[in-house]
Each structure stands twice: as C-alpha cells, then as structure tokens.
Chain A
Amino acid sequence: MLTVPGWPGHRAGQHVDVRLTAEDGYQAQRSYSIASAPAASNQLTLTVERLDDGEVSPYLTEELRAGDQLELRGPIGGYFVWDLEMGGPLLLVAGGSGICPLMAMLRRRAGAGGSVLTRLLYSSRSWEDIIYREELAQIGAAGTGLQVIHTLTRAVPPDWRGRAGRIDRKMLADVAWPPTDHPLMYVCGPTPLVESVADALVSLGHDSERVKTERFGPTGG
C-alpha cells in the first residue's frame, strides 16, 4: 500500500509505472495495475505477483519496507477502465494475477453500493492461489447482484463442488450473459487465456467491441 502525495485519483482498471534505480544508476521500469478502488484519498494499493526470475517483483515483494520511497508514474490507461456510469451487465474474466485491475472495478462497484449485475469468472491453479479469495467470498455473498465463479486448473480441494479446468467456450457459454444482454466484458490474464476467451466470446455472438482485453504476466527475459 502506497501513500502518494498529490495523487490525482484514478479509474478502476488503470495502472502505474514503477521505476527502481540502483546505486550505479541502472534503472528498471515495470507496470502494475492499481488494485484499490478509486477513492478520495492519496493511498493506493498495488498487488504484485512475485516471479521467481523477475527483476522487479522480488524487490517489491521481499525487499521493500514500510517507510521506503518508491518512484511511480500514473495513473495510466484510459481504455481498460470501468466507471459506474458505464453500467452493465458486466462479465469479468480473470486468469491468475489478471484479477488485479478487475478487483479495482469490483471494489468500485462494492463501494458504491454495488447494483450493476456482474459475473466474475476467475481461473486459478488451486484454491491456495486465489488472490483476494476472502474478499471475493464476502462481496459475492452480499446479495448485490455479483456472482463469483471460480475455476481451478491444477488442483482441487477434496470437497470442491465448483468448476475445474481451463476456461473454454463451453464454460463461457454457461457463465456469460447472453449476447442479447449486451454485456461489457473485461478479460485480463496471461495471453493464451485472454486470446482463447476473447475468441470464444466473439464466437458465442458477443460484440467484439464490447470485449476489452488486457494481457498480463511475465514479459520473460
């Protein structure tokens, strides 16, 4: 959680650019979605997934301490955003850490008393890997028209009655709003997931202009 003096506020779905500088002047920059809801405050939350071979994420998740300074720029991004006025129904599809910008949207929705009909389809490797698991259970149970649907792709708990396996066309046909509802759709996660989900939504008859994608994950190297 960061306190940013002079923070101008942000829209759900936007991100910041973080820049680190080593003592020899070497710099590394990466982008992270803002996970906190837009608020009248100068505090914002980034959720960072630590990559084993990452250059910046191990620093942010292991080295950074309360009181340290972090250089960031933002908010950035005007396309993959959701404001209350945009309405719904909303279909949010996330894979792994792709949940982060969608979480800002869900928190925005919840903070405003949440009435836009929303379905979140969230793919994770296992129950333990689900980010924001408790909070999603809470806001999903609040009876405000939000359904949280998990699918687990690698390991399911013994008493699991939820969905399993990767998101495919059949799962989307079950879960997504019918095209006649003209939902707004946001898909975020690793490229293979985003590619197949976006293709499937279009093939199910959804308007491709209402499918917004953001691709996430390690950029390799």
Chain B
Amino acid sequence: MSFVSRGFRGRPRDQAEAGRLPPGQHVVQDFPVLSAGPTPRTPLSEWTFSITGAVDQLKNWTWEEFQALPTERITRDIHCVTKWSKLDTHWEGVSVDTLLQEVQPRAGYVMAFSDGDYTTNLALDDLTGGKAWVAFSFAGEPLAPEHGGPARLLVPHLYFWKSAKWVRGLQLVTADSPGFWETYGYNMHGDPWREQRYSGD
C-alpha cells in the first residue's frame, strides 16, 4: 500500500490528461528511445515480412509488395513500461487483420520477431480485431530507424515493448512462451490498465 511521501506535490494536474493515463504513467512531449542494443539497419531491398509457424499457408511480402497493401492512418495513445506515455500519436500502417486475411491461423499465440534477434510474445486475440498494425510511418514521416523503422509492430493497447521495433514477421505458435523482455522479467501480457509490467504482476 502507498503512503504519502512527505512534502511531495508533483506537477499541476491536467485533469483531461489524467483520465487518459494508465496507473503510474506520465505524459511526455518528446519520443524517448529505448532498446537493448544497436539499431539494426536492414536495407529495404532485403526487407521481407513473413507469417510463419502454425498456419495453413506461409506468407511473405517484400517491401514493394507490402507497400501495395491497403493501409490505415491511426491515432492512439502509447504507454511505455518505463512510465512515459505519449498521447494522440499518429501512425500509418497495414492492419494485422489485413496480413492475416489469407492465412488460416492454427494456433492462438504469436511470437513477433525482429531484426537484431528481438522477439515478443502476444496472444492472437491481442493482434486481431483492429488492435494491431505493422506501422511504417510516424507523425507523417517514414518511421526512423531508432524508433523501429522501416516498420514496427504497433499494438497500442499493451505496453510499448510489445510493439516490436524492426519487425520482420509473426510466428504462430500453440503455446505462449516468453520473448526477449519477457525472459528478462517483464510481463507475459503487458496490459497498462492493469499495470502488468513485470512477471508476477
């Protein structure tokens, strides 16, 4: 249980913002960069996105093929497990529903995989029904490499480590097993509204 921190006042409260923030978060105006290692730099000529694993048919897109898919512009709040939140962020990307359209998933879980050996696990439910995109543009500009460009997964309803930067594909798997940060103690699910930051939350 919390106790009052003697003498702490905090910033003046913005009530409108406060209602939009999950527990423990605060709003930032910049866009912090956090990652475990050096930024991968795959040339677009070598970039592919794949759907693999427990599916009826493996799917694969080159960058050109990916760009030809229908895209959506979305505006969402995003929440990082390190406590910062950014409101009304603007993205453009291909909905994961679109990517899964021609594929029959045969399993309920996904391991998203990226350049640089990054992975993160998600339930298929958290990626479908208009909840997730593969995003290549942020704030009207091509997504910068340090923010995950050329394309990252975007799953705004979960903590942002689940929005895998430099994403290269989704592997359908029958069991939920921990990805990169999950192996290092972060929550398997990552719902900011239930403050599921670390394992055991």
Contacts and interface: CB of A to CB of B under 8 A. Distances in A.
Contacts of A64: 7
A77 B185 contact: yes
A23 B4 contact: yes
A198 interface: yes
A21 B30 contact: no
B37 A211 contact: yes
A2 B181 CA distance: 28
B194 interface: no
Contact of B35 (A21, A27, A69, A215): A215
Contacts of A21: 2-5, 8
Contact of B39 (A30, A195, A220): A195
Given A31-B83, A191-B146, A220-B29, A26 B10 contact: yes
A163 interface: no
Contacts of B7: 59, 63-64
B4 A213 contact: no
A60 to B, nearest CB: 9
B32 interface: yes
Contact of A20 (B5, B27, B117): B5
Interface string A30-65: 110000000000000000000000010001000110
Interface string B1-30: 011111111110100000000011111111
Nearest to B146: A195
B123 to A, nearest CB: 23
Nearest to B29: A220
Nearest to B8: A20
A20 B37 CA distance: 31
B70 interface: no
A104 to B, nearest CB: 17
A70 B4 CA distance: 9
Given A20-B5, A20-B10, A68-B6, A76 B32 contact: no
B82 interface: yes
B44 interface: no
A191 B23 CA distance: 26
Contacts of B11: 28, 55
Contacts of B61: none
Contacts of A214: 34
B84 interface: yes
A136 B141 CA distance: 44
10 contacts: A26-B13, A31-B83, A71-B2, A198-B38, A199-B39, A208-B40, A219-B28, A220-B32, A221-B30, A221-B84
